[in-house]
Amino acid sequence: MMRNFAESLKHTLVEEGGFSDHPADPGGATMKGITLATYRDYKRNPHLTPDDLKAIPQDEVEDIYRKRYWAACQCDVLPSGVDACVFDTAVNSGPGRAAKILQECVGATPDGSIGAGTLAALNKADPKLVILDYINKRQSYLESLKTFPIFGKGWTARVSRLKDLALKIA
């Protein structure tokens, strides 16, 4: 289905930018939000270098995002807007964290995997209220990280722009 995948991907790619290898970023070398470790795993090649990552083809970028973040978080079955929140968070903080934030918003067991219990609880909730709660919980999570003093201004702006996108497509 992927009704909001293209728009969510476009947003996230703008947020992630190009190549980065900031010494304070625990993800290390990253291109378009994809870490070298993720790319090595995707290609099943532990010898790929940051230069290989810099040259990642766009079709591989989209395939990684579709399989490892969008599909992994069941975004196809999430309400519009909620899907964008969960996807962008999965890219920025990992699918498990993205799922746990959603589960906290809907009162499901925060086990880091979106399944039947999470979806049942989500179906009883107002998607716009879930989005607002999700955005607040994501911001709080980011503020709790030791790297917030370094990356916090950018993360806060990113979360604000995500809120605007999510409410627009909800």
- For 138-154, the pLDDT digits (tens) are 999 999 999 999 999 99
**pTM given for the model:** 0.95
Listed by start position, the domains of the chain span 5-169
Q: What is the pLDDT of residues 66-84, one digit of tens each?
A: 999 999 999 999 999 999 9
Q: Above 60 in pLDDT, residue 1?
A: no
CATH code: domain 5-169 is 1.20.141.10
What is the pLDDT, as a whole number, of residue 3?
A: 84
- In this predicted structure, the answer to whether residue 126 has a pLDDT above a threshold of 80 is yes
pLDDT at 169 over 70: yes
Q: What pLDDT is attached to residue 127?
A: 97
User: Residues 70-99, buried b or exposed e (16+ Cβ, 10 A)?
Assistant: bebbbbeebbbbbbbbbbbbbbbbebebbb
- What is residue 82's predicted lDDT score, i.e. its pLDDT? 98
Give the number of residues written for the chain: 170
pLDDT of residue 7: 95
Taking residues 80-97, report their average pLDDT.
Answer: 97
Residue 21 pLDDT > 60: yes
Cα torsion 47, 49, 54, 60 to 10°: value is 10
